Amino acid sequence: MSKPLVSIVMGSDSDLEIMREAGKALDDFGIDYEIDVTSAHRSPDRTADYARNAAGRGIRVIIAGAGGAAHLAGVIAAHTKLPVIGVPIPSTPLNGLDSLLATVQMPAGIPVATMAIGKPGATNAGILAAQMIALADSSVAKRLGAYKQKLAAGVEEKSKKLKNALNK
């Protein structure tokens, strides 16, 4: 097993069902990743250490998912030069809108690439991380090309089915 290039972290194990989607996307592109829990609020020292050490361990991209106050991605971005992708988790009665705003509204100077709320966002976080890795990895770039073709073929198929069903 080679060293992970992407790190997926989340504020609580209750975020796992959603954050697994990022891992599934990375699996599709053959990218090794690690997955862990660390919290901006409950374990601030652990989170800062994790962020400071990630690049030295060979990590190239960090995907961070959190609900509630959702400061995890921003705190991690404050402690690393690696690109950070944030996934807002719908874990409060506000259904993730709170997490989206907290994750996306970073002050100038500390960017977090913020995805959609929930599973679609986690999937896109995995794909965006793959796109970053692909800049310097031709095998991942090739898989991304095949993935785009598969998406387009899926739409063609749906179009044919729709026209057949409607007899148009």
Q: Of 5, 6, 9, 15, which lies in the binding site for ligand RP5, with binding defined by CB under 6 A?
A: 15
Contact between 87 and ligand RP5 by CB under 6 A: the answer reads no
> Where does this chain touch ligand RP5 (CB under 6 A) — which range of 61-69, 80-88, 122-130, 145-153?
61-69
Of 98, 68, 96, 87, whose CA–CA distance to 127 is shortest?
87
Contact between 11 and ligand RP5 by CB under 6 A: the answer reads yes
Shortest distance (Å) from residue 66 CB to ligand RP5: 4
Q: Of 8, 51, 66, 133, which lies in the binding site for ligand RP5, with binding defined by CB under 6 A?
A: 66
Shortest distance (Å) from residue 137 CB to ligand RP5: 30
> Where does this chain touch ligand RP5 (CB under 6 A) — which range of 7-15, 106-114, 133-141, 153-161?
7-15
Shortest distance (Å) from residue 74 CB to ligand RP5: 13
Dig out the tokens for 150 from the structure.
């598969």
CB distance 75 to 45 below 8 Å: no
Contact between 88 and ligand RP5 by CB under 6 A: the answer reads no
Question: Is 31 or 122 the residue whose CB approaches ligand RP5 more closely?
Answer: 122
Contact between 115 and ligand RP5 by CB under 6 A: the answer reads no
Question: How far is Cα 78 from Cα 82, in angstroms, rounded to an integer?
Answer: 10
Residues that bind ligand RP5 (CB under 6 A): 10-12, 14-15, 39, 66-68, 89, 91
